[in-house]
Amino acid sequence: MTGAARSSLVLPVGLAITMLLAILSLRFGLRDIAWPEIWNALFAFDPMNADHITLRELRLSRVTAALIGGAALGLAGALMQAMTRNPLADPGLLGVNGGAAIGVVISIWILGASAQAALIAPALIGAGIAAVLVLVLGGAAHRSGPDPTRLVLAGAALSALFLALTWAVLLMSREALDVFRFWVLGGFTGISMTQVMAVLPVYAVGFPLAFLAARLLSPLILGDDAARALGVRVWLVRLICVGAVVLLCGATVSLAGPIAFVGLLVPHLVRPFTGVSIPKLALGSTILGACLATFADLAGRFLLPGREVEAGVVIAMIGGPALVILVRRRQEVPL
């Protein structure tokens, strides 16, 4: 099969698999719901029917969060790898996860916030502050704009600092530790539609900005000097890219906790089908990211009889060995 044929198939096939997983997620769980009741719960809701309540109040919002959150992480990972020209780059390199974590811990420690909905705002604020600090340290104030290497180093250093501060607070607050150890696993269990709607405006800005960044990043494949010769403002393109990554990852982390490996692995799985085209890679990573997160959420319901495993744990079980394989192969991936 030619590269063009593979590229044309990946999107419809990925969408079909993702939608199938979403439907199965509505059907199966600790309490299975019959197929006719799924239709009735969506279009003829009976508030006295336990199956209808389970689907409308629990599973529908959970599946929606998995689809949107996974898509956001996959897209952010594709942008990060393209911007830094590093096949092992990950959205966490911007310090977004670490900033969100310290925001959550401080809000629990000082304000006593414990409900998951109350953690969205501090997580977004922490992620935004972390991104600004990374940009400043990464050279956003320089005329040439942020440098990919400086961004990665600044993100890694700040992530380590945020991790140390987080554990320092947790050692002083038992309440913060109790809430944080559930949130830090990362997953979509217990997410309400109200929480999804709370971060939807952030996604509404982040997704269009990310696809714009994907189009603007294409000339950078030739290198910064060649891109500047073509009239591209390299520093502005990178600022747009970083802004999109912060919005997408910040919203997802605030909603579902720090879910690792999606942004790292998904672009590698999509790239053989899309080649070096960054817009195609971004679109494919969006779809496959949603697919992976939905699969992990569904699989976690069957790993332990009578209990559920968080999606973040399932993805880590997949991503850890996959990362080792990527490193051992030492395969250079064109970006």
pLDDT in tens, 10-24: 788 889 999 999 999
| Residue with tokens 């982390």, as numbered in its chain | 253
Report if residue 334 sits inside a domain.
no
What are the beta bridge partners of residue 307? Answer: 304
Count of domains forming the chain:
1
Q: What are phi and psi of 47, to 5 degrees?
A: -65, -10
Give the pLDDT band (50/70/90) at residue 332. Answer: very low
Report if residue 335 sits inside a domain.
no
The type of residue at 45 is: F
* Residue 72 belongs to domain with CATH number: 1.10.3470.10
Give the pLDDT band (50/70/90) at residue 333. Answer: very low
The least confident of 60-74, 138-152, 191-205 is 138-152
Non-local (6+) Cβ contacts of 321 within 8 A are none
CA 158 to chain centre: 19
Report if residue 265 sits inside a domain.
yes
Report if residue 140 sits inside a domain.
yes
Domain extent, residue 214, equals 3-329
CA diameter of the chain: 66
The answer to whether 203 and 72 are in contact (CB under 8 A) is yes
Alpha-carbon distances, residue 298 vs 65, 130, 295, 329 (angstroms): 13, 32, 5, 30
> What confidence tens digit (pLDDT) does each residue in 20-70 have?
999 999 999 888 888 998 999 888 888 888 889 889 888 999 999 999 999
Report if residue 128 sits inside a domain.
yes
Report if residue 129 sits inside a domain.
yes
pLDDT given at position 139: 64
> Average pLDDT for residues 187-206, to the nearest whole number?
90
Report if residue 12 sits inside a domain.
yes
